[in-house]
A and B are shown apart, each in its own frame.
Chain A
Amino acid sequence: MSAAIETKVGGNAFTAVLRRDLLLAWRTRADLLIALSFFLVVASLFPFGVGAETNQLRAIGPGVVWVAALLATLLALPRMFSQDFESGVLEQLLLSPEPPIVWVLAKILSHWLATGAPLVLMAPLLALMYGLQADEIGVLVATLALGTPILSLIGAVGAALTLGLRGAGSLLALLVLPLFVPVLVFGAGAVDAYAGSMSIKAHLLLMGGGLLGALALAPFACAASLRLALE
């Protein structure tokens, strides 16, 4: 065997996948705009339903923004792996010499940057609509910044589990929405607690812990599910 052929191959799957997925997100930015508009429209529907009474709107504001963010995240989840699954790219990724969690993490990060981060940035606008105070908006944005990555991480496991199934989108919603509940409870709860002049430290710590936990476990579960989907 020649020396050239024996050269060990080492690569950088993380940056390669991150760069490509962000480039693809930019090329399909119309899809992302749809998710953002969905966020805006869902959150704007509530005043029509419950009436435009200022105090009432202020009370439901954080919860509504959180639920809308959750649904908008869900909208983009099925696309996370499906394209690569159909085109055969996923198969090739699994054959990369690097551990699958490396590129799975890159995929989740790029998904969050493309869908979760814009939601966080747009949330203050909706919060203003609901008449939240500036410091309340700050708390809301902080909880969203902590919470939306958890949604992407848990959602990635769901997307991987439902990959290639019929009706994957609705199954995915059924599967992950219950798991999103704790995030929603502490996320929206933090703003309420702050408005009631209570400490929000516990809420933020719990969400931070949840994020670390999801960060540690979800990529493994996701990689294992992807392997199963390709068996």
Chain B
Amino acid sequence: MLEINNLACLRGDRLLFRQLSLSVQTGELWRVLGANGVGKTSLLRLLCGLTTPEAGEVLWQGKSIRQEREDFHAALLYLGHAPALNDLLTPVENLRFACAFGGDEASEADCKSALSRIGLSRQLDLPAKVLSQGQRRRVGLARLLLATRRPLWILDEPFTALDVAAVGELADVITQHASAGGMVIFTSHQDAGFSVPVRTLDIGELRGELGE
């Protein structure tokens, strides 16, 4: 369970939000809403522990993610804005590396089958620099397929640049993860059509309370 207590985020000298409290239970799907620049990515980075909150704290299984960093990061998969690919490595090499340092056991065959499953079977041996934006995103998607053991997924704009078929597939993967007892927090500007209820957190509304 992920608990957020009275979180406040300062970016430069602008207060993005404050007194944000939320509790994410197993099996829940959360979508973070808000206009551009409202602080969605900042919130996700705070939740991952990449940045330090101005006030408040984030608890994972009742313990602060600062104090129990290793346990928390072993349970977390974060996909950020950038697809985290090296241009000179092939999708297989990139994926194997991501799994290896993250601590997910994945053989070359596992990576290949995950990549084939999301439609990159013909790009397995090409350097990532020749892939299109959507194809780069799909490599990140394959990472999700290999990280089903991690309960908490935090995904920043996972649907960007994906075609209709891939959006549907990603929605399925996310739904499956939630129904298997995982938790997913994501930002998105489009409705992907999930078959399970999606809770929403509107940062724009929080800002309204700030009186801006």
Contact = CB atoms under 8 A, between A and B. Distances in A.
Chain A bound to chain B: yes
Interface in A156-209: none
B51 interface: yes
A95 B82 contact: no
A55 interface: no
Given A83-B86, A94-B50, A95-B78, A5 B97 contact: no
Interface in B77-101: 78, 80-89, 93, 97-98, 100-101
Contacts of A28: 88
A229 B48 CA distance: 16
Contacts of A4: 148-149, 180
B180 A12 contact: no
Contacts of A49: none
A87 B82 contact: yes
Contacts of B180: 2, 4-5
A163 B189 CA distance: 31
Interface string A53-92: 0000000000000000000000000000001101111011
A169 B185 CA distance: 38
A173 B84 CA distance: 28
A11 interface: yes
A230 B48 CA distance: 12
Given A11-B103, A95-B48, A97-B70, A1 B26 contact: yes
Interface stretch (A19-27, A123-131, A135-143, A214-222): A19-27
Contacts of A92: 78, 80, 84, 98, 101-102
Contact of A231 (B52, B76, B81): B52
A1 B75 CA distance: 13
A11 B80 contact: no
Interface SS majority for chain B = loop
A4 B148 CA distance: 9
A20 B90 CA distance: 12
Given A24-B89, A87-B86, A97-B74, A5 B102 contact: no
B84 A7 contact: no
B85 A9 contact: no
A13 B86 contact: no
Contacts of B83: 87-88
A93 interface: yes
A16 B82 contact: no
A43 to B, nearest CB: 30
Contacts of A2: 180-181
A67 B167 CA distance: 56
A117 interface: no
Nearest to B52: A231
Contacts of A103: 101
A17 interface: yes
Contacts of B151: 1, 5-6
B84 A5 contact: no
A82 B181 CA distance: 37
B80 A23 contact: no
Nearest to B50: A230
A28 B86 CA distance: 12
Contacts of B148: 4-5
A84 B84 CA distance: 8
Given A5-B181, A11-B100, A95 B73 contact: yes
Interface of A: 1-2, 4-13, 15-17, 20, 23-24, 27-28, 83-84, 86-89, 91-99, 103, 230-231
Given A92-B101, A95-B50, 18 more contacts: A1-B26, A1-B181, A2-B180, A2-B181, A5-B151, A6-B151, A13-B103, A17-B97, A17-B101, A24-B88, A27-B88, A88-B81, A88-B83, A91-B80, A92-B78, A93-B101, A95-B76, A97-B103
Of all A-B residue pairs in the complex, the 3 with the closest CB atoms, nearest first, are A11-B103, A88-B82, A16-B100
6 contacts: A10-B103, A13-B100, A88-B82, A230-B50, A230-B51, A231-B50
